[in-house]
Structure 1
Amino acid sequence: MKQFYLLVFASISIASAQIQPTTSQKVDESLMAKKSMDANSLVKNIPLKNIGPSVMSGRVVDLAVNEDNPTEYYVAYASGGLWYTNNNGNSFSPVMDKTQTQNLGDIAVHWQSGTIWAGTGENNSSRSSYAGIGILKSTDKGKTWQHMGLSDSHHIGRIVVNPDNANEVTVGVTGHLYSANKERGIYKTTDGGKTWKNTLYIDNKTGIIDVAVSPNNYSLQYAAAWQKDRKAWNFTGNGEGSGIYKSTDAGNTWTKISTPTSGFPTGKGVGRIGLAVFDDNTLYAVHDNQFRRKKSEEKKEKNSGLTKEDFKSFTKEQFLKLNDKELNEFLKTNNFQEKYRAANVKQLVRSNAVQPADLALYLEDANSMLFDTPVIGAEVYRSDNGGKTWKKQNEEYIDDLFYSYGYYFAQINIDPNNIDAIYLSGVPIIASKDGGKTYTSINGDNVHADHHAVWINPNLPGHLINGNDGGVNTSYDDGKHWFKNNSPSVGQFYAIAVDNEKPYNVYGGLQDNGVWMGAHNEEENKEWHQTGQYPWKSILGGDGMQVQVDNRNANIVYTGYQFGNYFRIDLENDHRHYIQPKHALGETPYRFNWQSPILLSPHNQDILYLGSNKLHRSLNQGDTWDTISDDLTQGGKKGNVAYGTLTTISESPFTFGLLYTGSDDGLIKRTDNGGGSWTNLSKDLPQNLWVSRVIASKHNENRVYATLNGYRSDDFTAYVYMSEDKGATWKSISNNIPASAVNVIIEDPENENLLFVGTDNGLYASLNRGSTWESFQNGMPYVAVHDLVIQQEAKDLVVGTHGRSIYIADISALQNLTTDVRNKDTHVYPLKNIKYSSRWGNSWSTWAKPRTPGLDITFYSNKDGVYEAKIKSSDNITVSETQIIANKGLNILSYDVAFSKTGKLNYLKKHKTILKQADNGSTYLPTGSYTVEIKGNGITEKVSFDVE
C-alpha cells in the first residue's frame, strides 16, 4: 500500500510505557476464570435474546463441504463461529456456541469420521481480525469440543487433514497480528493433536497463510509464507520472509521453492500468496505483489479530464492556464466545498495562499487511500513441474481486484476437472478459463463484495459455493446466477442506537454492510419472503458506523461510513445530506478514525459533535461546523492507517459544554467551557492505549468512566476506570473481569450502581459500581461486544456484537437488584398484569401452532436451593404449583397461565362454571386476581397479578 504521512509524531513529555502482549498462559487462566464466573453469576438466568438481523450476514473465512453430499457443509465466520447445514444452506445450526471463542481462521473436516478441526483466530489481518485460542477439535460433528493446543498461535492460516487418517494434520500458523511471536509456521501432528512438531519456522514476523495439498498425494504439500507487521498506525503486508515452500513427506520437512531463479517474485515486495494444486505437477499461485509500478505503468483513470495526480505536478503557471469549466468539474465531482470554485481557487493560487498540490492533498483522506493502487497488485503464476519454475499468466495488470488491500484476500481456487479453470477472490470474484490469461467477473448483482472462500464441486460442473463479507452464495451455472444462504444472525456490528418509537427501533452500523434499522420486537424468520418486506431496512452503505437519532423526531438520523463520512438522513423524505467537516484548502487535512465518533448533545438535539483529530461542533444539525479544539491527540504517526484520531465523545447531561474526548493514542481530555480550554486527564493512566469509551455519568456531574483497549498491541488486559472528580484522578474498577480487551462501558440510567461492560469475549454486569463483576452470557456465546445502549422506557439492554448481530435483555430485575434486595434471603419481583385472550392455546388452522401466553416470575435467592411455587386464586384455591431448583442470584419461573390438572379440579369444585379446554389441551386462567407464593430458604414471599 502507498505510505503517507498523517503527521509526524508530536513531541510529548510523557515517556511511552512499553505495552506487552498478553501471554497465552494468562489467556488460558482468564478463560478458566470466565467459565467459573459463568457458573456462579448472580445474573446467569437473565436471558439475552438474539433479534437478528441476518439477511446481510457477516464475513465468511472458510467453507468445508462434503463432496459426496454437497447439501451438507460447514461455514466458518470470522467472528461469528461455525455453522452447519444439511439442507443445502436452507437453514443452519451453530455448533461452536459452547466453546470459548467464536473467532475462526480456517476449518477442516474429515467427513468419514465426523472429525472437525477448527483453527481459531481470523487470518485476514484486517483491523478487526480477532485472535483465537489455538486449535479446537470435535469428533462428534460439533456436539463437543476439545482444545488441542497452539494457544499462542493467535491466527490460523490453513488446516489440511490426511483423508486416510484423521489424526494426521498439518497446520499453517499465521501468528500474532500486532506483535512478534515464535509460535508460527508449520505445525504437524500424527496423534490427533496430542503433540505438535514445528516443522517449518522462518522468523517471528513470518507465518504461514496457506497450505495446499495434491489431491492425489497427501505427502505432496505446499505452503505460502507471509511476512507482515500491523500496528495501529501502519500495516506492512509484505517482506523478504514471504515465499513458497514444498514438502514431499507430508509436512515433515520443507524446501523453499520461490527462489530468485524460479521465476516467482522474491524480495521485500512479496505479499500474501494463495495456492491451488491441480495434480502432482501443476499448481497455481496468486500473489499480492507489493512492488511499485513504474510511473509510466500506473493505472490511468478511466474518465478523461483532470485527476488528483495532475495537481501534484502542476506549476503555478500551468494551473492558472487551466480551463475554468474543466477545473469546476473537477472541484464539484470531488466534493470540494462550495466556496472553492475555479475563480476563487485561482485567486488563492495567484496570491500564493495555496499551491496547486494542495488540491491533491485536500482529497487525500484515509478512505481515498484505500483505493489508491500504485503497487503491481494481483498476479497469477503457474508451475507445471511441481514448483521448480513459475510463469506469470497475466500479461496485463489485474486491476480493480485487490485495490490497495490484497492482504485481505489473495485466494485462488482451481476446478478439479479443468486445469485451466481458476477463480480469484478479491473485491469481486473473477474467473479464468485459459489458465489465468484473461478474466471475467462472476460477481452477480446479488453477490456481496470482498471474497474469502470458494468451493468447487468436483462431481457437478458449475456448482460453486462462495463466502464473502456478506455471507454465503450458491451457484449452479458457474457464477451466472447466485442465490443467498444467509439465515444465520452473524452481523458484525460496530455501533448501535435506539429511538423512542413504539415499538422502539434499533439502529446499527456493520462491517462492510452499511447501516440498518428495524423494530426490536420483529421475529427473525422467513415470513418476509411472502411480502418482500424484510423487517430490517438498509439506510446507508459502506462500512456502517455510529448512529445518533434525534429524540424529538426519529425520522432524523445521523450516521455514516468509514473515516468520518457522515450524513444527516431524513427517513421520511428519503433525503441524505453530507455533513463531514472539511479543512480549509491549504491546511493539513483532518484525521478521521475508521469509526469516527458522533454525538447529539443531550441539551439540544440541533447540536451535533463529530470527532476527527479535533472536535467539531455544529449548532444547526451539521449544516455548518465550528472547530472547538486544537489537536486532541498526540499528533499522529507516519503510516498508512489513520492514527492520532478521536475515538469517543461524551457530554455531561448536567452541564452544556462539559465535554470529554478520547483518542486512539491514549489521550483523554476535558473541557468545562465548550472547547475554550482543554485539560489532559490521562497522565496517570496506562499510556498509548486506544481509548475505546469515555462516558460522563448521568447521576453525578463529577463522575466519569473510561475504558482503554490494548487489542492493537495484542494486550488483552481489561482496562476499566472511574473518576469521581471529572478525571483529575482515576480508580481502576476492572477488578475481576478476566483478560479481554474492553470496547464499551455503559451506566444504567436508573440505578447508578449498575454498570455494563462489553469486551472482545463477552458481556459483564456490575451491581456495585465496578467493585465486582458478573458474567452476563445467558443465550449469547463468547463473542465480541462492541456497543451497548439502554432503551430507558422498555428497560432493555441492547447489545451490539461483532459477529452475532444484536441481543436484547430485560434488565428491570437488575435495576432493582439493590444491596437491600441482595441482603434478603428471598425477594420476589412485582408482576405485570396480563391481558386475557380467548385465543390462548388455539390456532387459526389445524396446521398452525397455537398461540400461548406466558408470565415470567422473577425472584432472587441468596443461595442455591429448591423452591415451591404456587399460583392461587383470589379465594385461595391453588390453581397450579411446581418446584424450581433455584440458583444463588436471579431466577425466572416461566408460568404458562394455565391450570394444572389438580388445580382445575379444585377450582371447579368451588366454582360452578365451565372452563373450556384449548386446542393444545391446556385450560387457561379466567379473568381475575391471583397470587404467586414462592417458598424457599424458610421464607414465603407473595406477589399478585391480574388476568384482565
Structure 2
Amino acid sequence: MNFLSRPLRTAIVALSLVGIGHAQQVDPQLFSGLSWRSVGPFRGGRVAAVTGAVGKPGVYFMGMPMGGVWRTTNAGVTWEPVFDAVKGVSSVGSVQVAPSDSNIVYVGTGDFSSGGCPSIGNGMYKSTDGGRTWAHIGLDGTDHIPSMVVDPTNPDHVLVAARGDSRKGTEQRGIFRTTDGGKTWKQVLYVDDKTGAERIAYAHDVPDTLYATTVKVGSGSKLYRSTDRGATWKEVTGEGLPSISGRTCVAVAPKTNAQRIFLTSNSGLFRSDDAGAHWTKMGSGDRRVSNGQGGYNCGVYVNSANPDIVYLINTCSYISRDGGVTFTGFKGAPGGDDPQQMWLDPTDPDRMIFGVDQGATISMDGGRSWSNWYNQATAQVYHIAVDNQWPYWIYATQQDSGAVSTCMRGNYGEITPLDWHPHPGYEFGSLAIDPRDPNISYCGSDIGGIIRVDKPSGQYIDVSPVVEAGSGLRHVLNQPLLFNPNDPRELLAGFQFLMSTTDGGKTWKKLSPDLGAPKETPKPTTPTTPAKPPTTGNAVTDDDDDEDQNENMDDEERELRQQARGGGSIESFCVSTADPQVLWAGLNNGGVHVTKDRGKTWSDVTPTGLPQGSDISGIDASHHEAGEAYIAVDAHNRGDYAPHVYRTRDFGKTWTKIVNGIPGKDSDMSFARVIKSDPVRKGLLFLCTESFVYVSFDDGDHWQSLALNQPNTSYRDMVIKGNDLVVGTYGRSFWILDDISPLREVTGAIANQAAHLFKPGNAVRVRRNVNGDTPYPPEVTHADNPPLGAVLYYWLAKPATKVSIEIADKTGRVWRHLSSDDVVNLEPNQHPIPEFWKEVVRPLPNQAGMWRVNWNLLADNPPATSHGYGINANPFGTPQSPEGPLVPPGDYTVTLKAGDQTLRQVVKVVNDPRSRASAADLRAQWGLTSKLYDAALQAWGKDLELKALREQVKARLEAKPAEAATKALEAFQKKLEEFGTEASAQGGRRQAFATSAASYRAVYQSSLRIMDSMEFGDSVPTQAATSSANKNFDTLKRLDASWKKLVADDLAALNATLTKLSVQKITAPTG
C-alpha cells in the first residue's frame, strides 16, 4: 500500500555539506569556441506586432512575443532576425516604420501574453538604418508596450501606449509622447497606477485626431480622444458605448474626417459616425463579430481607400464591405489562424500583413494570395524530446500549431523543409518517444488525454488511463511524460499521481498516492467572482498557463481557481539512473516528493521558504549519486522573476539554494525553467531560464552564461543527447549546442597552458550531401547541418606563429594536413555559378582563444590545375573539387602543433549507423579508393616530372643550338609525347570509368573518376569499378616502366650528346 511518510520539510542550508572539488568558475574564453545552431522547425509562431514600410513594397517587420524583431525585404519570401544584437530583451509588443522615412523603425518591447508569462520589456528602441542597428531610447519602466503610432509626416513624433507592470501599481503606464525622436518623453495620458494604455489609432489623412483605449485589471477600460496630435486627451463617453472589457482595438476610418470610429472588445464591435457621440453595435447576431477566445483574438482595421471595407479579427479574419453591418470570411482555416495583428498600407489598399499564431503572412493583391509562414524559425515550444535513431529527431509541442518534429541534420547538406514535419498531438503537453522504436510516440492530445502515435501511417489512438469512478485525474496543461531511462518498456505520466504503463497504454498503474492532495479553498480577502468548479471528465487541467484568456484576473483569483480545481498536480518528475528505485516528483503547488522504493512509500521533502505560488518547473536526479537531485522553481505567476534553483545531496532532507552567478533583477527575467545534470561529468549542470542558458562546473555553486551566440528568447526545456545539448525555446524554435565534449573536460587550469587540444567526441562517417541533381535555391528556408565529420577544439593562450594539424591512421600515415599557413587560392570566377554557392575556406586560426575546426573525414584534396563545384551544392557550403576519399572507420591520431607545443588526441571515426555495409565491405571499398587516390597522386607527380622535362627541352630548342643538338632534342621530345600531350587536370564531377590514351594525365583523371563514383555510398566495389581500376593500375605500371627506361637510357644518351656539343644538359627527375 502506498502512503506518504511524515513530511521532511527542513531549512535550506547555506552551504553544501559535500564539495565537488574546486572547479568554481571557468574562464569563459576556454569554451568560447562552442556555437549554438538553429535547426528549425520553420513553422512560425505567434506574432505580437507587424508593420510595413510605406513606399517599399517588399519591406515588412514582425515583432515576436519572445523572439525579437524580424524583417523581410522581399515580401515574405525570406525573413531574417534583426534584433539579436540587442541583449537583455526579446519580447516585442509593437513595431512601427515611420511613414515618411522607411529607414526609421521604432520598437516597443514587452508583449503581454507570452505563453502564460507576460514578458517584461525595457522600453523603446529605434533604428535609423532600416533595422540593421538599434539604440535604446527610454521608457524603461513601462514593461509592456502593445501599440504605438508614428506621425505620417514627421518621423520624430511618436505616441506610445504602455500597459505598465502587470503585477503591481506603477505610474509608468498610459500614453507617452516624443517630438524629438525619443530623446525626451512626456506622459500625456495617465489615469491611475493600475490602468494602462492598449491601443492608439489615427486615420492617415487626419493625423491630428487620435483615439486610444485604456485597460485596467478587472474593470475600468475606457476610450479616449485627442485632437492635437496626442498632446492632450479626453474620455469618450458617447451614447451606446458599452462597458469595455477584455482586449481592445480601435480604428479610425479614412476619408471620413475622423468621424467614423470602430471599437471592438469582449462586448462586441461598435461603430460611431460622429466622432464617438453615438455608437451602434455591428453584426448583430453574428457571434464572430466580437473578440475571439475570451479576448485572445482582438482587432479591427479599415481599408485605406474605402471606409466601408472593414477587417475584423476573431479565430479567423473577416471582411465587411458595408461598413461593418455584415461580415464574410477573409482569411483563416478550420481551427483558425488565430490572427493577432494587421497592418494596412495607408497609401496602397492592396498591401497588407497579418501576424497570426503561425507567423507572419503578406498579401500584395488585397488578400487574394498570401505569402507562406513556413519560412520562419520562430516556433514557441514547451517540452521537448528526442528519439534514439541517427540522426536523431527532436519533438515538441508547439504553441497554437500542434506537435512538431525536426531532424538534427539533413541528407542534402542542410536542414530543409524535407527534414521537419507536423506530428500528431496537441499544442500543449509533452511527447515521449519509445526508446526501442522511434516510430512509436506518446503525447497529449486535443481530446484531453494521452495518445499513442504510430508512424509512418500517422494513426493514433487514445491510451489515457482509466480510473475508478468519481476520482478523476488532474494534470497540468503541459503534462509531463517520460520513458524510464532504466527500463525502456515503461512510460510514466504525471497526474496528481505518478502513473506507469509497460504495455503501451493498454493498462496503467499508480506509483504514488495523490501527491497534490486537494486543499480547502480559502475565502478571498477581497470580493471576487467565485471560480467555476472544473468540468467533469477523465482529466482536468490544473493551471492557467495558456493563451491568457483570463488577462483581467488578479493574482488572488488565479490562486483561488487553482485551489478550487483540487490542489496540485505533477509538473515535473524524473527517475534516478544512479538507483532505479529512486523517483522524484515536483508539483505545480511547490511540493517536492521522493520515493526510494519505487513508489511504495513517498516523502514530502519540499524545501522551506519557497516563494508562494511556486511551480517545480524542473527536477532532475544526479546520474552519479542516488541522493542528489536538483530543482528549478518558477514563481513568475506571483510576480517573482528571480531565479530559484536548489540542490540536495541527502534525498531532500536539506536543500542548498544555488543561484550564484545568475542575474536576479526582475528586468533580467532569469526565473528558472528546467535544470539538467550531465550524465558524464559529475557536477556539470545546465540551466534554462526565461532569458538564457547557464552552465555550472561545480554542482551549482557557481553559474556562468552559456549564451555564446544564442539569441535572447525564453528557454523552456532541454535534453542532453549524447554529446549534444538540445534546447527548446518559446520564440526561436530548437537550438543545438553541437558536441559539448569540451565542457566535460574543461578546467580552470587549462587557461595556464600555452596550448590545449581537447579530446574529440566520436565522428560519424556521413556524406555531406547526397542530392544527385538540382540543389535547393537559397530562398528555400534552411538551417545549417552540424559540422561535418570530426569536430576539433583547441586553446591557445597567446597567438602562435604557426598552427598545424595532422591526422594519421594507425599505421602513422598522415591523411589530412591543416595549417594556419594554408593559402586560400580563390580562382577567378570562371564557373557558371554565383559566388554565394562556394564554400568559404579559411586557414587554421592562430590567435589566442578557443577555436573550433572540423575535419570532414576526407583525405587531402588531390592537386589540380583548376577546380569545379559539384551539382550537389549548398549556399556557402559547396566545396571545390576534386576532393580526397572518405576515410574508413577507425581510430585516428590528431596532432596539433602550435609554436613549440605538440599535442595529440585520438578521434574515433564510426560509420553512418544507417549504412547497410559491413566492416568487410568498407575495408574492401577503402582498399580500392585509397589505391586509386595513391595512383592519382603518383600519376600527378610523374606528370609534373614530364612537364619539367618538356619545359627544359623547349628552352634548349628556343636557344637554337647546333643542328646535331636540335635533332637530338627533337627526337627526345618525340619520345616524351608517348607519355601524353599537354592537357589540364580539370576538377568537378567526373564521368565514371572513362579512360583515354595511355598517359600519366589520363591515369590521374581516370583514377579520380573511378574513385569519385564510389564516394557516394558504402558498398563493396562493383565488378565494373574493380575492372576499370585494375586496368588503370596496369597502365600506370607500364607507364612507370617506360618512364624509368626513358630516364635511364634515353635521357642519359641525350645528355651525353648535349655535353659533347657544349649544350646545357637536361636535369633528370629526382622522383
Q: What code does the residue aligned with 1:829 have?
A: F
Is residue 277 from structure 1 mapped to residue 252 from structure 2 by the alignment? yes
- TM-score normalised by L of structure 2: 0.68
Distance 1:394 1:692, change over 3 A: same
Residue 429 (structure 2) pairs with residue 545 (structure 1): yes
1:86-235 aligned within 5 A: 86-100=73-87, 101-111=89-99, 112=101, 114-124=103-113, 127-228=116-217
CA contact (8 A) 1:422 1:431 kept: yes
Instruction: String of CA shifts for 1:313-337, please: whole Å, max 9, x gaps.
Output: xxxxxxxxxxxxxxxxxxxxxxxxx
| AA partner of residue 819 (structure 2) | S
Identity of paired residues, percent? 28
Q: Does residue 503 in structure 1 map to residue 427 in structure 2? A: no
Q: Which residue of 2 aligns with 1:47?
A: 35
Q: Distance in 2 between matches of 1:129 and 1:400?
A: 27
Q: Structure 2 residue aligned with 1:393, among 250, 264, 282?
A: 282
Q: Is 2:755 the partner of 1:826?
A: yes
* AA in 2 matched with 1:494: Y
State the superposition RMSD in angstroms.
3.8
1:122·1:131 contact (CA, 8 Å) conserved in 2?
A: yes
The verdict on how the C-alpha distance between 1:636 and 1:217 changes in structure 2, with shifts beyond 3 A counting, is farther
Measured in 2, the distance between the counterparts of 1:832 and 1:16 equals 42
Find the counterpart in structure 2 of residue 256 from structure 1: 235
Distance apart, 1:879 and its partner CA: 6.7
Cα distance between partner residues in 2 of 1:496 and 1:800: 6
Number of the residue aligned with 1:698: 623
Indicate conservation of the 8 Å contact 1:400/1:427, yes or no.
no
1:474 aligns with 2:362: yes
Counterpart residue number, 1:858: 793
- Measured after TM superposition, the shift of residue 521 of structure 1 is 0.6
Residues 282 and 847 of structure 1: is their aligned pair in 2 closer, same or farther, counting only changes over 3 Å? closer
* Matched position secondary structure for 1:815: helix
**Partners of 2:766 and 2:79 in 1: how far apart?**
35
Deviations 1:616-668 (A, max 9, x none): 33343323333431242673866475533321111222444522211222211
3-state DSSP of counterpart to 2:637: helix
The letter of the residue matching 1:158 is: S
Match of 1:881 among 814, 820, 824: 820
Compared CA separation, residues 939 and 485, structure 1 to 2 (3 A): same
1:724 and 2:649 are equivalent in the alignment: yes
Stretches of structure 2 that go unaligned for 5 or more consecutive residues are: 1-6, 13-24, 522-529, 533-542, 545-561, 563-567, 665-669, 779-784, 822-843, 870-879, 910-925, 931-1071
Equivalent residues of 1:789, 1:799 under 8 A apart: yes
- Tell me which amino acid in the other structure corresponds to 1:271: G
Alignment-derived partner of residue 779 in structure 1: 709
1:514 aligns with 2:402: yes
Match of 2:1026 in 1: none
Alignment-derived partner of residue 454 in structure 2: 570
| Counterpart-to-counterpart distance in 2, 1:476 and 1:248 | 33
Q: Does 1:681 align with 2:605?
A: yes
Q: Post-superposition shift, 1:811? A: 0.9
Would you say the 8 A contact 2:660–2:702 is kept in 1? yes
Give yes or no for the alignment of 1:817 onto 2:743.
Answer: no
User: Residue 296 of structure 1 corresponds to which residue in structure 2?
Assistant: none
Q: Does the 8 Å contact 1:633/1:665 carry over to 2?
A: no
1:778 Cα offset (Å)? 3.0
1:653 alignment partner in structure 2: 577
- State whether residues 316 and 333 of structure 2, in contact with CA within 8 Å, keep that contact through their aligned partners in structure 1: no
Give the Cα separation in 2 of the matches to 1:591 and 1:832: 43
Give the conservation status (yes or no) of the 8 Å contact 2:158–2:181. Answer: yes
Residue 918 of structure 1 pairs with residue 867 of structure 2: yes
2:672 maps to: 742
- Contact residue 90 and residue 485 of structure 1 kept, 8 A: no
Q: 1:511 to 1:727 in 2, by over 3 A?
A: same
Bigger Rg, structure 1 or 2: 2
Cross-structure match for 1:709: 634
> Are the equivalent residues in 2 in contact too, given 1:113–1:166 (CA < 8 A)?
no
Name the one with the larger helix percent: 2
2:725 corresponds to which residue? 797
1:414 aligns with 2:376: no
Query: Larger strand proportion, structure 1 or 2?
Result: 1
Partners of 1:140 and 1:167 in 2: how far apart?
15
- Aligned equivalent of 1:288: 265
Matched with 1:557 is 441
Cα separation, 1, equivalents of 2:580 and 2:289: 48
Compute the displacement of 1:41 (Å): 5.1
Residues 656-671 of structure 1: pairs in structure 2 closer than 5 A: 656-671=580-595
Q: 1:487 aligns with which of 358, 366, 375?
A: 375
Q: Secondary structure at the match of 2:601?
A: coil
Deviation sequence 1:145-168 (CA, Å, 0-9, x none): 111222222211111112222222
Counterpart pick for 1:608 among 477, 485, 491: 491
In the alignment, residue 522 of structure 1 is paired with which amino acid? G
Q: Which residue of 1 aligns with 2:933?
A: none
Answer whether contact 2:591 2:606 (CA < 8 A) is retained: yes
Residue 79 in 1 paired to residue 66 in 2? yes
**How far apart, in 2, do the equivalents of 1:834 and 1:678 lie?**
44
AA at the equivalent of 1:799: V
Q: Please give the alpha-carbon distance, in whole angstroms, between the structure 2 residues aligned to 1:602 and 1:896.
A: 33
The amino acid that maps onto 2:282 is Q
Q: Is the 8 A contact 2:756 2:795 kept in 1?
A: yes
**Matched position secondary structure for 1:814:** helix
Residue 68 (1) aligns with residue 55 (2):
yes
Output the amino acid matched with 1:784. S
Q: Return the alpha-carbon distance in structure 2 between the equivalents of residues 649 and 872 of structure 1.
A: 47
> Deviation digits for residues 384-442 of structure 1, max 9, x if unmatched?
22222222122214249645421x22211111112121111121111112222221122
Deviations 1:558-587 (A, max 9, x none): 111479632122224433222334555444
Q: Relative to 1, partners in 2 of residues 1:823 and 1:697: Cα closer, same or farther, differing over 3 Å?
A: farther
Unaligned runs of 5+ in 1: 1-11, 18-36, 229-237, 290-376, 905-912
Q: Contact 2:581/2:597 (CA < 8 Å) preserved in 1?
A: yes
Letter in 2 for 1:611: G
Q: 1:573/1:607 Cα in 2 relative to 1: closer, same or farther (>3 Å)?
A: same
- Please state whether the residue corresponding to 1:133 is helix, strand or coil: coil
Q: 1:507 touches 1:517 (CA, 8 Å); kept in 2?
A: yes
In the aligned structure 1, how far is the partner of 2:151 from the partner of 2:346?
18
The question of whether the paired residues in 1 share the 8 Å contact of 2:762 and 2:790 is answered with: no
Cα pair distance change 1:729/1:155, threshold 3 Å: same
- Paired with 1:80 and 1:847, the residues of 2 have a C-alpha distance of 27
Counterpart residue type for residue 276 of structure 2: G
Q: How many Å separate the matches in 2 of 1:842 and 1:923?
A: 17
* Residue number in structure 1 paired with 2:985: none
Q: Deviations over 1:800-819 (max 9, x none)?
A: 11111111122122222256
Aligned residues: 792
Displacement of 1:273 after TM fit? 1.6
